[in-house]
């Protein structure tokens, strides 16, 4: 992991750096793991089409299985997306603000809105999953009727991961606010390369 | 004019959303926060359950499952440089025509619309295909974004259209009539977009410069070889993907999965397969799918809070209680639909507002088929108008270096095209009614 | 109004069942002297059909309408209340099922199902008898079981579709909104939806012209209406009674409407759309009823509550079928005689 090429600044405290590294690491690992699901999803659906048209033998499970994987797939990838600053922003004003202002606004929103609402979401999502798990609930709208709770589990799981990544983003924003510099390479501020260049120029 | 506390909250939430977007915080979360805040004031902690259910509904929607595969297909082809080839060759073919890329974008979008109707996947694939080519050819980002955004929304109008399927039973018009009625207006809009793009580029070639002389093909023969080697297999792949949906061989999600596998095989055949590229494509697909699908969930959630609070219903009830001549009423209804389209996608606007309007529409003796299409065309703009402008946000997600303000500006140009289309349908109802009347016999 | 009742239905607002729900709402408003204000929402307006129970139980809305078999993913017994397939293979008909609900153990068992088995915080009534649902729409008149079992058929999921598979029919399940487009693309060969009235609106007659009214997969069909229990119990007893009696009146409403709306729809389908009605061959009854019994046995073994409700319904069938078969036979023969003699056109 290469840090931003700002040699002039002191950088965040080692503990904060370490924490961000761990939190980002979890999101990236989970995101990469779930990104692989696209391959089995693809193979399952292709198998269904081939078996239906070339062997006249439609399966009853392919569509459902792909659907369950799809539900897990994008939810668990969301923290990865947040870490790379890909949840898009309305940037008209934002882009004109100084790094300090951006950091301040983001810190406030992460602390007072993002984290509390995600904690409540986690509680509700967990209950939603747990009820389904206890009933061993299956998908009724399908002839195969597979169990559904693995997919529902993706809600509390991904929200929990979103909280972890949110903590990391809070630290990053706080640092940007206090020091006027984006320290981390993939900052949460909508930017990859261009934004990074701008930061360095500012620093 | 009596208004309950919740109805007022609903209207205020819209103002809140507009203001909150100023903070520049990621849009998906902003929509969640505003929905939660105003929803909490209106219905208490239940609003969290509503959010949970809305997320689950997106997770369990098989139609949206096509989005990751279309993205994957795009990324695989892009990382091997094949996508770029495609639009580059089209441009070579039409080298002297200014704005030829817009033509290619809108034609592809129209074919896409006839095949799937999934706005998110249509837009993302178009961005992948046309983005690099437009940058290289110095095309205008604004117009390019507008063409992609507007072209992408054709999917909910041109049959098969989920929106018309939902509207049919609500209005008591057979879905088959609605499908027939939507064909000509859909093509008309597509034609207006093309006409606007080409005419503008003809007079102001800087918006879509023709290919520089030195970049054009040396001879017709060289061009043909180029096309056969670099483009025909790709066109066959995309054609087979969309064709299999059109022919009913596969659902859009299945076809998109086959298309992704096909893209993979194509890259292998060209000898351009690299593990690094595959990994990159998988990671980008996962992240962008998350961005798009979570945004759909968040906007559905905000829309459901807005409708649960009852503001939209209140507005519509005010409207139908006025006594107006039929044409005045239709124009006013469209104005309201356009307005509501700022805050919501088409689903609540159809499910909640249409039933309130229908008795009035019937009482005024307005042809429900014609009205349905006018309503549908107006609704199409809900994808384009901020603050909840999903089309524009999808583009921003795929092409992050494009400024959102540029995307908006481009999109407004095509909303104007949309207005021309609506005006024509209002003035000449037979644009809608002619085809169903032919088919009915 | 002092109380607000928001009811999320599982039907589009054009459906006659939506009208029944609106009438129910109006009745509750008037009988409560305006103390309860009722709002009825079309499918998907707040949540989609399959999320209604969770939504009512959590209190996102305080009322809901759907069919219990929508929840058979949570526990398979749901099917038995709303649509005991093929009359449980024992000939239990719609009128008998309704009498089980209101005079027998039905209501008690239904609420046990919701409150204890599913742990949902709702009170429910079997208030919307909408059966019998037609067999479905076909591209041609089928002459044999062999011809029938070759067609890709859109069926509701669960035990009805398992029974179709058991007799060898390839079944597909999809939401109502997808049936017509799927049919036009040839994804399915035949389909069922709800009732002549609702089928007419869906545009099925534009795709297929052969309509079989007599079917078994949902020959009994009763929708239920439920209300958040905590909210219901917070009402004064007088208003609880208003709601309860309004539910009962909805039953009468629905029965009357079924005959008028469906008859008018059939007339329109036949006269204007050129639809042909056919009687369902007897082979189908034998095969399908046998298949259903086999599937029901499988579930009885797996789930004790399923077994309990099935036993209660079977007792009711033993009690009522001998009488009902005579009654239904008289009506059938009387009507057929009138049709054949030309007394009815
Ligand atoms: Na379409
Ligand atoms: Na909008």
pLDDT digits (tens, 9 = 90+) for C123-170: 999 999 998 999 999 999 998 888 898 888 998 878 898 899 899 898
The mean pLDDT of B15-19, rounded to a whole number, is 83
The more confidently predicted of residues B246 and B315 is: B315
Inform me whether the pLDDT recorded for B235 exceeds 90: no
Helical (H) or strand (E) element with C304: helix C304-341
A80 reaches B (C-beta below 8 A): yes
Inform me whether the pLDDT recorded for A195 exceeds 70: no
A78 interaction partners in chain B (CB closer than 8 Å): 290, 294
Give the distance from residue A47's alpha carbon to the nearest chain C alpha carbon, in angstroms. Answer: 17
What is the span of the domain harbouring residue A57? 12-202
In the structure, ligand 1 is a single-atom ion and the residues with CB under 5 Å from it are: B 113, 117, 155, 158, 161
Inform me whether the pLDDT recorded for A1 exceeds 50: no
Q: Is A3 helix (H, G, I), strand (E, B) or coil?
A: coil
Q: Is A203 helix (H, G, I), strand (E, B) or coil?
A: coil
Other CB atoms within a 10 A radius of the CB of residue C260 amount to 11
Alpha-helix runs per DSSP H in chain A: 14-35, 38-53, 62-83, 99-109, 115-134, 149-179, 193-202
- How far apart are alpha carbons C67 and B157 in whole angstroms? 32
* Interface residue of C7, C14, C55, C231 to substitute, partner B, most B CBs within 10 Å: C14
Question: How far is ligand 2, taken at its centre, from the CA of residue B55, in Å?
Answer: 19
Q: B398 to chain A: nearest residue by CA?
A: A86
| pLDDT confidence of residue B74 | 79
| pLDDT confidence of residue B77 | 80
* Token pair 């962008």 in the structure block, residue: B288
Number of residue pairs across A and B with CB atoms under 8 Å? 185
| pLDDT confidence of residue B1 | 52
A6 in any annotated domain: no
Q: Which ligand is nearest to the CA of B186?
A: 1
Q: B253 to chain A: nearest residue by CA?
A: A45
pLDDT digits (tens, 9 = 90+) for B23-71: 888 888 998 999 999 999 988 888 998 899 889 988 988 878 888 888 8
Question: How far is ligand 1, taken at its centre, from the CA of residue B160, in Å?
Answer: 4
A135, C171: Cβ pair inside 8 Å?
Answer: no
Q: Is the previous residue joined to B160 through a cis bond, with omega within 30 degrees of 0?
A: yes
CB B418 within 8 A of CB B150: yes
Six-digit token string for A58: 């439609």
- What percentage of residues in chain A have a pLDDT greater than 70? 84
Q: Which member of B32, B55, B59 has the closest CB to residue A117?
A: B32
The mean pLDDT of A183-195, rounded to a whole number, is 49
Question: How far is ligand 2, taken at its centre, from the CA of residue B343, in Å?
Answer: 5
User: What band does A202 get if pLDDT is binned at 50, 70 and 90?
Assistant: very low
- The DSSP line for C154-206 is E--SSHHHHHHHHTT--EE---HHHHHHHHHTTS-SEE--S-HHHHHHHTGGG
ipTM: 0.78
User: What band does C88 get if pLDDT is binned at 50, 70 and 90?
Assistant: very high
| pLDDT confidence of residue B113 | 77
Inform me whether the pLDDT recorded for C322 exceeds 90: yes
A117 interaction partners in chain B (CB closer than 8 Å): 32-33, 36
* Interface residue of C58, C71, C74, C78 to substitute, partner A, most A CBs within 10 Å: C74
| pLDDT confidence of residue A203 | 30
Give the distance from residue C112's alpha carbon to the nearest chain A alpha carbon, in angstroms. Answer: 15
- What percentage of residues in chain B have a pLDDT greater than 70? 94
- The DSSP line for C219-258 is SS-EEEEEEEHHHHHHS-HHHHHHHHHHHHHHHHHHHHHH
The more confidently predicted of residues B238 and B127 is: B127
Q: Is the previous residue joined to C132 through a cis bond, with omega within 30 degrees of 0?
A: yes
A102 reaches B (C-beta below 8 A): yes
A80, B60: Cβ pair inside 8 Å?
Answer: no
A135, C173: Cβ pair inside 8 Å?
Answer: no
Give the distance from residue A142's alpha carbon to the nearest chain C alpha carbon, in angstroms. Answer: 6
Q: Which member of A44, A73, A90 has the closest CB to residue B286?
A: A73
C42 interaction partners in chain B (CB closer than 8 Å): 170, 351-352, 355
The more confidently predicted of residues A94 and B199 is: B199
Inform me whether the pLDDT recorded for A127 exceeds 70: yes
Question: How far is ligand 1, taken at its centre, from the CA of residue B184, in Å?
Answer: 13
User: What band does C240 get if pLDDT is binned at 50, 70 and 90?
Assistant: very high
| pLDDT confidence of residue B215 | 66
A109 reaches B (C-beta below 8 A): yes
CA-wise closest residue to B389 among B84, B27, B111: B27
Inform me whether the pLDDT recorded for C72 exceeds 80: yes
| pLDDT confidence of residue B21 | 78
| pLDDT confidence of residue C59 | 87
Number of residue pairs across B and C with CB atoms under 8 Å? 89
B351, C44: Cβ pair inside 8 Å?
Answer: yes
The mean pLDDT of B260-285, rounded to a whole number, is 90
Give the distance from residue B9's alpha carbon to the nearest chain C alpha carbon, in angstroms. Answer: 17
A4 in any annotated domain: no
| pLDDT confidence of residue B115 | 66
Burial of B430 (0-12, 13-18, 19+ CB in 10 A): exposed
| pLDDT confidence of residue C209 | 94
Beta carbons within 8 Å of C326's beta carbon, 6+ residues apart: none
Computed over every residue of chain C, the mean pLDDT equals: 92
| pLDDT confidence of residue B160 | 67
Inform me whether the pLDDT recorded for A6 exceeds 70: no
- How far apart are alpha carbons A152 and B170 in whole angstroms? 32
Inform me whether the pLDDT recorded for A100 exceeds 80: yes
Domain count along chain A: 1
Other CB atoms within a 10 A radius of the CB of residue C101 amount to 23
B46, C13: Cβ pair inside 8 Å?
Answer: no
Q: C171 to chain A: nearest residue by CA?
A: A143
Computed over every residue of chain A, the mean pLDDT equals: 83
C47 interaction partners in chain B (CB closer than 8 Å): 50, 53-54, 57, 304
Q: B285 to chain A: nearest residue by CA?
A: A35
Question: How far is ligand 1, taken at its centre, from the CA of residue C192, in Å?
Answer: 25
Question: How far is ligand 2, taken at its centre, from the CA of residue B342, in Å?
Answer: 4
| pLDDT confidence of residue B11 | 81
Q: Is C216 helix (H, G, I), strand (E, B) or coil?
A: coil
| pLDDT confidence of residue B439 | 67
The mean pLDDT of A96-107, rounded to a whole number, is 90
| pLDDT confidence of residue A190 | 42
Q: Report the predicted TM-score, pTM, of the whole model to 2 decimal places.
A: 0.80
Computed over every residue of chain B, the mean pLDDT equals: 83
Inform me whether the pLDDT recorded for A9 exceeds 60: no
Q: Which ligand is nearest to the CA of B27?
A: 2
| pLDDT confidence of residue B440 | 55
DSSP label of B352: I
Q: B51 to chain A: nearest residue by CA?
A: A121
Q: Which member of B49, B171, B248 has the closest CB to residue C58?
A: B49
pLDDT digits (tens, 9 = 90+) for B200-218: 888 888 887 777 766 676 7
Q: B252 to chain C: nearest residue by CA?
A: C182
Six-digit token string for C151: 């067609």
Indicate left, alpha or beta for B219 from its phi (over 0: left) and psi (-120 to 50: alpha).
beta
| pLDDT confidence of residue C104 | 95
Inform me whether the pLDDT recorded for C44 exceeds 60: yes
| pLDDT confidence of residue A199 | 35
| pLDDT confidence of residue A143 | 66
Q: A52 to chain C: nearest residue by CA?
A: C187
Inform me whether the pLDDT recorded for B299 exceeds 70: yes
| pLDDT confidence of residue B389 | 83
A167 reaches B (C-beta below 8 A): no
Inform me whether the pLDDT recorded for B127 exceeds 60: yes
The mean pLDDT of C308-333, rounded to a whole number, is 97
| pLDDT confidence of residue A201 | 34
pLDDT digits (tens, 9 = 90+) for B327-336: 888 888 888 8
Which of the other chains make 3 or more beta carbon contacts under 8 angstroms with chain C?
Answer: A, B
| pLDDT confidence of residue C109 | 97
pLDDT digits (tens, 9 = 90+) for A45-65: 999 888 877 876 777 788 889
pLDDT digits (tens, 9 = 90+) for B353-398: 787 787 788 878 888 889 999 988 998 888 888 777 888 888 888 8
Q: Which member of A42, A86, A117 has the closest CB to residue B291?
A: A86
Q: How far is CA C42 from CA B62, B122, B264, in A?
A: 22, 29, 43
Query: Domain residues of chain B, as ranges?
Result: 5-440
């Amino acid at each position: 992991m290469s840090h931003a090429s700002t040699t002039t600044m002191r950088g965040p405290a080692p503990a904060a750096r370490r924490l961000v590294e761990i939190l980002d690491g979890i999101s990236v690992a989970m995101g990469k793991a779930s990104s692989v699901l696209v391959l089995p999803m693809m193979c399952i659906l292709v198998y269904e089409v081939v078996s239906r048209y070339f062997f006249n033998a439609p399966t009853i499970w392919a569509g459902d299985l792909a659907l369950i994987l799809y539900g897990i797939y994008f939810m668990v990838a969301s923290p990865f997306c947040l870490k790379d600053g890909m949840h898009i922003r309305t940037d008209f004003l934002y882009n004109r603000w100084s790094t300090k202002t951006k950091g301040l606004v983001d810190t406030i929103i992460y602390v007072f809105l993002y984290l509390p609402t995600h904690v409540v979401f986690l509680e509700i999502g967990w209950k939603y999953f747990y009820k389904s798990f206890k009933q061993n609930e299956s998908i009724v709208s399908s002839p195969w009727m597979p169990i559904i709770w693995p997919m529902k589990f993706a809600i509390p799981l991904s929200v929990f991961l979103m909280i972890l990544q949110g903590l990391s983003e809070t630290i990053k924003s706080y640092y940007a606010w206090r020091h006027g510099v984006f320290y981390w390479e993939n900052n949460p501020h909508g930017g990859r390369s261009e934004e990074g260049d701008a930061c360095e120029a500012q620093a | 004019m009596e208004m309950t506390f919740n109805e007022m909250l609903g209207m205020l939430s819209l103002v809140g959303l507009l203001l909150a977007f100023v903070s520049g915080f990621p849009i998906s979360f902003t929509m969640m926060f505003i929905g939660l805040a105003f929803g909490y004031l209106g219905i208490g902690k239940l609003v969290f359950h509503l959010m949970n259910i809305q997320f689950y509904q997106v997770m369990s929607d098989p139609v949206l499952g096509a989005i990751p595969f279309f993205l994957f297909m795009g990324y695989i082809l892009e990382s091997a440089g094949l996508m770029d080839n495609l639009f580059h060759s089209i441009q070579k073919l039409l080298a002297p025509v200014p704005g030829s890329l817009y033509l290619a974008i809108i034609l592809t979008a129209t074919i896409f619309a006839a095949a799937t109707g999934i706005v998110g996947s249509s837009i993302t694939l178009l961005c992948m295909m046309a983005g690099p080519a437009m940058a290289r050819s110095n095309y205008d980002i604004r117009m390019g974004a507008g063409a992609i955004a507007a072209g992408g929304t054709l999917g909910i109008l041109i049959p098969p259209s989920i929106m018309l399927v939902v509207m049919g039973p609500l209005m008591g018009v057979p879905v088959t009539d609605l499908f027939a009625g939507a064909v000509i207006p859909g093509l008309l809009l597509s034609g207006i977009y093309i006409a606007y793009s080409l005419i503008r580029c003809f007079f102001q070639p800087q918006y879509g410069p023709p290919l520089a002389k030195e970049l054009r093909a040396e001879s017709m023969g060289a061009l043909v070889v180029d096309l056969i080697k670099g483009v025909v297999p790709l066109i066959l792949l995309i054609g087979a993907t969309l064709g299999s949906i059109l022919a009913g061989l596969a659902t859009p999600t299945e076809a998109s999965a086959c298309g992704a596998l096909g893209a993979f095989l194509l890259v292998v055949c060209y000898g351009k397969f690299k593990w690094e590229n595959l990994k990159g494509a998988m990671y980008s697909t996962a992240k962008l799918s998350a961005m798009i699908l979570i945004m759909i969930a968040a906007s559905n959630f905000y829309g459901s809070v807005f409708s649960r609070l009852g503001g939209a219903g209140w507005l519509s009830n005010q409207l139908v209680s006025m006594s107006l001549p039929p044409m005045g009423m239709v124009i006013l209804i469209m104005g309201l639909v356009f307005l509501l389209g700022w805050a919501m996608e088409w689903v609540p606007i159809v499910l909640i507002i249409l039933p309130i309007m229908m008795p009035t529409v019937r009482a005024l003796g307005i042809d429900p088929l014609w009205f349905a299409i006018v309503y549908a065309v107006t609704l199409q703009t809900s994808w384009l108008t901020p603050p909840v402008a999903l089309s524009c946000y999808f583009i921003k997600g795929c092409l992050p270096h494009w400024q959102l303000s540029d995307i908006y500006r481009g999109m407004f140009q095509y909303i104007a095209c949309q207005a021309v289309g609506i005006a024509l349908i209002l003035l000449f109802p037979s644009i809608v009614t002619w085809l169903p009347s032919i088919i009915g016999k | 109004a002092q109380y607000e009742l928001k009811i999320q239905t599982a039907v589009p607002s054009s459906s006659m069942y939506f009208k029944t729900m609106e009438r129910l709402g109006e009745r509750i408003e008037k009988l409560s002297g305006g103390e309860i204000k009722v709002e009825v929402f079309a499918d998907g307006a707040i949540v989609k059909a399959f999320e209604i129970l969770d939504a009512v139980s959590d209190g996102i809305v305080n009322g809901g309408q759907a069919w219990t078999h929508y929840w058979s993913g949570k526990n398979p017994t749901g099917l038995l209340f709303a649509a005991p397939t093929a009359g449980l293979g024992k000939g239990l008909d719609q009128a008998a099922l309704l009498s089980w609900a209101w005079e027998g153990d039905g209501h008690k068992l239904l609420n046990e199902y919701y409150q204890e088995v599913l742990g949902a915080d709702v009170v429910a009534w079997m208030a919307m008898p909408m059966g019998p649902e037609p067999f479905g729409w076909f591209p041609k008149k089928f002459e044999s079981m062999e011809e029938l079992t070759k067609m890709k058929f859109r069926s509701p999921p669960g035990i009805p579709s398992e029974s179709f598979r058991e007799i060898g029919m390839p079944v597909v399940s999809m939401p109502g909104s997808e049936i017509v487009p799927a049919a036009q693309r040839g994804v399915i060969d035949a389909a069922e939806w709800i009732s002549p009235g609702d089928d007419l609106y869906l545009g099925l007659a534009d795709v297929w012209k052969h309509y079989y009214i007599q079917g078994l997969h949902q020959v009994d069909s009763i929708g239920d209406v439920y209300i958040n229990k905590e909210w219901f119990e917070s009402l004064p007893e007088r208003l609880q009674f208003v709601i309860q009696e309004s539910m009962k009146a909805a039953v009468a409403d629905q029965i009357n409407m079924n005959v008028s709306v469906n008859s008018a729809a059939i007339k329109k389908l036949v006269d204007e759309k050129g639809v042909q009605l056919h009687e369902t061959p007897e082979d189908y009854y034998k095969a399908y009823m046998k298949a259903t019994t086999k599937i029901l046995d499988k579930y009885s073994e797996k789930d004790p509550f399923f077994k309990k409700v099935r036993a209660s319904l079977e007792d009711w069938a033993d009690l009522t079928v001998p009488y009902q078969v005579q009654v239904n036979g008289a009506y059938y023969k009387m009507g057929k005689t009138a049709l054949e003699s030309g007394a009815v056109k």
